[in-house]
Chain A
């Protein structure tokens, strides 16, 4: 798939897509919004002929000790079969325990035990869907003292052992680095670039945590200047990939979102030009 920038397709923009078919690299949808029949699913199917698609799941809970929910997995498999997306992903996190779904991408300790759980679950997912999936680095607000690996080491091992790809969320790198006092450059240096299949960009909020600023991955604003700069660094490290701009709260006019994607396209194109110059 071409390393163009696309957007997360959200319900308020559906009518504009149906009417105008605006140009964008590709469309990414959240799987869980399309697992039941609704007029929205029919609309997405109607767009399929004109756009490349990515299905981004948020609810598989790849870090759950109890394994994947097979009925949820079966529903996802049906959606994948219907839409035949070019890209497919979920997160390195957990959200289900004891039959409760917590609607959050909760942090894992980066231990051998957690690694085996994620690898097993990603393996089951890829086996069921009979294709490679990618897993995304989460936005972190805390880390566990008993972690034995860094996050890049953990992600790299998940990719190596399961054969999955990595979806690099650049905003999440920035958010986690700030919240956990990490050096984003060192973080990038620890990652196996060949496993990366896709990038995400989004805005974040700054909240107060007992008097200290904490960054929240709320997908509710423009991509920050710091994240654009980090995106350029990411491209320098790993090269261009398909890139999605996500916006989920305080969703703006479609033109604003497409403008952010156009900016991402410009950064991707600059990288391709300079790569080309270097190759020549």
Chain B
């Protein structure tokens, strides 16, 4: 049967993802290598190459579950979520939600948050870098002006709030890690951002997390501090501000 090209391409994707389409097999010339075996080359490539792409974006998830399990699990995701465009560093935005939805497959309640951390690191890494706010820029600024100033984080910054000790899970899954992690019921608030030529994160306390969330919502320094003090009257503004400034998390003022 001679397919029109549009129909051929639609049947081709259905054959690769949903199972064999006899009409496609009939359209492929077979000989000592049957048509179905020839088509399998493309099915393997589709699933394997996208599983490898996901492993590159979610390296911590892969280290936590192991390579074999990750490949199998990634294939389930691929079958239900083909990419919509060719830039594979942008593929997997909904992988964490898929991990959460399929907890019965991996039985790790924290795995979805690990995927969220990997994705946030990926986003930060693939965001255009900008100049950072230098302490010198703040000199000569009155307290009033500083308090009223919006202080945007560098683009690509994400605040993650997990019920699990995500920073310690991440550290324990690094190749050089020697210690495991005790799931002690403590959660984590991580500010994930582009740092130099890599992506990194800072672990924040509860009121510090409130403070960072307010800055992400483009609140002024004064408003963000008020929110943090509401959460914890002991909130230490100079301490957290110095820490964020030292980590070069604020964009330079000309990028407001």
Chain A contact residues, CB within 8 Å of chain B = 32-33, 35-39, 42, 58-61, 63-66, 69, 71-72, 75, 94-104, 106, 108-109, 111, 113-114, 117, 141-146, 179, 181, 207, 209-210, 212, 214, 216
A100 touches B13 (CB 8 A): yes
Asked if B88 is at the interface of the complex by the 8 Å CB criterion, the answer is: yes
Q: Please determine whether A141 and B42 come into contact, CB atoms closer than 8 angstroms.
A: yes
| B1 cross-chain contacts in A, Cβ below 8 A | 146
Q: Name the residue on A nearest B24 (C-beta).
A: A144
Instruction: Check if B88 sits within 8 Å of A216, measured CB to CB.
Output: no
Q: What is the bound-complex CA distance between A37 and B130, given in angstroms?
A: 11
Q: In the assembled complex, which residues on chain A have CB atoms less than 8 Å from the CB atom of B86? A: 32, 58-61, 72, 95-96, 101, 103
Chain B, 177-213, CB within 8 A of any chain A CB = 196-198
Question: A18 → chain B, closest Cβ, in Å?
Answer: 10
Asked if A181 contacts B31 (CB within 8 A), the reply is: yes
Q: With contacts A109-B5, A111-B5, A142-B39 known, is A100 near B197, CB below 8 A?
A: no
Q: How far is the CA of A111 from the CA of B136 in the complex (A)?
A: 67
Q: Residue A145 contacts which of B29, B50, B129 (CB distance < 8 angstroms)?
A: B29
- Contact A146 to B5, CB < 8 A, known contacts A59-B86, A101-B82, A141-B41: no
Q: Residue A210 contacts which of B3, B29, B33, B49 (CB distance < 8 angstroms)? A: B33
Do A145 and B28 have beta carbons less than 8 Å apart? Answer: yes
Contacts of A102 in B (CB 8 A): 13, 16, 46, 82
A97/B127 in contact, CB under 8 A: no
Closest to A207 in B: B41
Q: Contact flags (1/0) for B82-121 with A, using CB distance below 8 Å?
A: 1111111110000000000000000000000000000000
Are A37 and B126 CB-contacts (below 8 A) given A99-B84, A102-B82, A109-B8? yes
Tell me the nearest residue of chain A to B30, going by C-beta.
Answer: A142
Q: Which of A63, A64, A117, A209 is the one whose CB lies under 8 Å from B41?
A: A209
Q: Tell me if B145 counts as interface (CB < 8 A to partner A).
A: no
| Known contacts A37-B127, A97-B12, A103-B53: A72-B85 contact under CB 8 Å | yes
Q: Please tell me the number of chain B residues within 8 Å of chain A, measured between CB atoms.
A: 48
Number of A-B contacts (CB under 8 A): 133
Chain A contacts for B135, CB-based, 8 A: none
* Pick from B12, B38, B85, B127: contact of A141, CB under 8 Å: B38
For the complex, what is the distance from the CA of A114 to the CA of B5, rounded to whole Å? 7
- If A38-B125, A106-B42 touch, whether A69 touches B85 (CB-CB below 8 Å) is yes
Instruction: Provide a sorted-by-A list of 9 A–B residue pairs whose CB atoms are within 8 angstroms.
Output: A33-B89, A36-B89, A42-B129, A59-B87, A97-B10, A100-B83, A104-B46, A106-B42, A209-B38
**Interface check B176, CB cutoff 8 A:** no
Closest A-B pairs by Cβ, 6 of them: A59-B86, A37-B128, A142-B38, A146-B2, A97-B9, A39-B197
Q: What is the chain A residue whose CB lies nearest that of B47?
A: A103
- Complex Cα distance, B5 from A181, in Å, reads 24
**B256 proximal to A (CB < 8 A):** no
Known interface pairs A37-B129, A39-B125; A210-B34 also in contact (CB < 8 Å): yes
How far does the Cβ of B128 sit from chain A's closest Cβ, in whole Å? 4
B83 with A143: CB separation less than 8 A: no
Q: Is the CB of B87 within 8 A of A36?
A: yes
CB-based contact A209/B33 at 8 Å? yes
- Asked, given contacts A64-B9, A142-B28, whether A104 binds B49 with beta carbons under 8 Å apart, the answer is yes
In contact, A113 and B5 (Cβ under 8 angstroms): yes
- Chain A residue numbers with a CB within 8 Å of B239 are none
Q: Is B12 within 8 A of A106, CB to CB?
A: yes
Asked whether any CB of chain A lies closer than 8 Å to the CB of B40, the reply is: yes
Q: Is B32 an interface residue (CB 8 A)?
A: yes
Find out whether the CB atom of B9 lies under 8 angstroms from the CB atom of A103. Answer: no
The distance from the CB of B86 to the nearest CB of chain A, in whole angstroms, is 3
Nearest-Cβ distance from residue B12 to partner chain A, whole angstroms? 6
The answer to whether A65 and B6 touch across the interface, beta carbons within 8 angstroms, is: yes
The distance in angstroms between the C-alpha atoms of A39 and B200, with both chains bound, is: 14
1/0 per position for B37-79, CB-CB distance to A under 8 A? 1111110011001100100000000000000000000000000
Which residues in B have their C-beta under 8 angstroms from that of A72?
85-87
For residue B128, which residues in chain A have a CB less than 8 angstroms away from its CB? 37
Distance in angstroms between the alpha carbons of A60 and B40 in the assembled complex: 23
When chains A and B are docked, how far (Å) is the Cα of A109 from the Cα of B12?
A: 12
Determine whether the beta carbon of B89 is less than 8 Å from that of A209: no
Among A33, A65, A94, the most chain B Cβ lie within 10 Å of the Cβ of A65
Instruction: Provide the residues of chain A in CB contact with B234, threshold 8 Å.
Output: none
Asked whether B4 is an interface residue with its Cβ less than 8 Å from the other chain, the reply is yes
CA of A144 to CA of B35 in the docked complex: distance in angstroms?
Answer: 10
Known: A65-B5, A102-B16, A103-B53. A145 touches B10 (CB 8 A): no
